[in-house]
Amino acid sequence: MSTELDWFKSSYSGSGGDNCVEVAIDAEAVRVRDSKDVGLRPFAVTPAAWSAFTTYASGS
């Protein structure tokens, strides 16, 4: 895994900047972290699990 990941903020985080989740996607996993404390280790899920979560979360 590359140590340099391209993190981006969730489109659902809002403009207040206080409850933000960032994700980085690579070939192995989708990594998720709290943007307020990027020093914490992110957790990783499989792309299939992330897809199922986002489908569920969007109500589709």
pLDDT at position 1? 44
In a domain? residue 26 = yes
- Rg of the chain over all Cα atoms, to the nearest angstrom: 12
Give a yes or no: residue 54 inside a domain. yes
Of 42, 38, 41, 20, give the one whose Cα is nearest residue 30.
42
Mean of per-residue pLDDT scores for the chain: 84
Range of the domain at 29: 8-58
Considering the domain boundaries, does residue 12 fall inside one?
yes
Distance CA 5, CA 31 (A): 9
| Number of domains, the chain | 1
11-37 pLDDT, tens digit per residue, is 666 666 666 889 999 889 999 998 888
In a domain, 22, yes or no: yes
What pLDDT is recorded for position 20? 82
Is 14 domain-assigned?
A: yes
Residue 1 falls inside a structural domain: no
Return the pLDDT at 17: 60
Residue 17 lies in a domain: yes
Q: What is the pTM of this model?
A: 0.73
